[in-house]
Chains A and B, each alone.
Chain A
């Protein structure tokens, strides 16, 4: 059976893609951010997961606003990255695991989640930046098969935080019922607090982000007391992306340990966070 061995929460700011392109990892602006990923690199190197389920949002590459699925899952053998219009160089394609994708979709739909199935799906920086961050070495990255899970946090109404947590729990069940000997990792991406639009652009909220990170392991339900409107007010309209971390957290279940955490303001306009959880059974 497949095993969910751990999960990572991570920001996916496009500027990180530029920094990686230019090799700025030790630059004074970037060092405190990239240093926070060292425990994740070591863990991935050590555990060598076979499959990564990557929870993210599309920013107008694959989905336009005409048809906006709340939850969409890729079921393709390969996922292409492409030009997003503002200059980030497209990365090489990522290998999928269609059999696992269809199992996941089947299990989730029979668990009452109405999933949009995508046999073709372009993946944008929301997907590629976390992949490059988790596996900075291209050869290692290419050995991990991916399942993209795209969440609408662009055109309101978004799914509720509670729905995200429950979807995560259902993903945990789906992974455990897949009849293949695979080690799986789940990545919840986006956030933390940031605001790109409006006169309040540049807004961040260290206090709230810190509490979110503090409670994520033992009390993820803490976030459910805030509506997405309230979250927009507190952490900025794009900070609401942190609800995608709850999908990762929900999937991991009760018996986990936190291995590392980092928080750094600013990366471009964003308060960037990273957290690594491991399943106790590993």
Chain B
């Protein structure tokens, strides 16, 4: 996109723009279906069959299987949609925050608390 042309990538950050939105369309569409309890049940009954039904790529299916949030983001997943998927695995925003940052949940929480205690967060 022209408004992003020449901008340096932000370390550890993905801008969810048109290219990523296209790449992740099927994945995010599957996650959107998880707003309904019956779809969550259908996913849990046969995860991979559900992924196939929504047309996920092999790489996306593998990342779902591994519960690998960073990989899912790189494959076009949007974090608000991925939250509906990871919620079924019992992972909340702080759990997946820690997973992506590559630190333990305790360390992740401590880092946020520390940001609250320092003057320059």
Contact = CB atoms under 8 A, between A and B. Distances in A.
A206 B118 contact: yes
Interface in A49-108: 59-61, 64-66, 82-87
By secondary structure, the B interface counts as: helix
Contact of B13 (A15, A86, A205, A232): A232
Interface string B21-53: 100010011011011110010000000000000
Given A84-B35, A154-B78, A206 B121 contact: yes
By secondary structure, the A interface counts as: loop
Interface in B5-26: 7, 10-18, 21, 25
Contacts of B12: 198-201, 203
Contacts of B4: 156, 229
A30 to B, nearest CB: 13
Given A87-B87, A237-B16, A202 B116 contact: no
A268 interface: yes
Nearest to B32: A64
Contact of B36 (A83, A229, A268): A83
B54 interface: no
Contacts of B92: 86
Contacts of A271: 115, 121
B14 A198 contact: yes
Contacts of A61: 35
Contact of A154 (B25, B80, B111): B80
A209 B69 CA distance: 28
A227 B18 CA distance: 17
A237 B14 CA distance: 8
Interface residues of B, number: 56
Given A60-B84, A229-B4, A265 B112 contact: yes
A180 B108 CA distance: 51
Interface string B81-121: 11110111000111011101110000010011101101111
Interface of A: 14-15, 59-61, 64-66, 82-87, 154-157, 193, 195-207, 209, 227, 229, 232-233, 236-238, 264-266, 268-269, 271
28 contacts: A14-B93, A60-B35, A83-B37, A84-B84, A85-B88, A86-B86, A86-B87, A155-B78, A156-B16, A195-B13, A197-B14, A197-B69, A197-B79, A198-B100, A200-B10, A200-B12, A200-B13, A201-B101, A202-B111, A204-B121, A205-B121, A207-B120, A229-B15, A264-B116, A265-B121, A268-B93, A269-B94, A269-B112
Given A65-B28, A85-B83, A232-B10, 6 more contacts: A14-B93, A155-B17, A205-B121, A233-B13, A268-B93, A268-B94
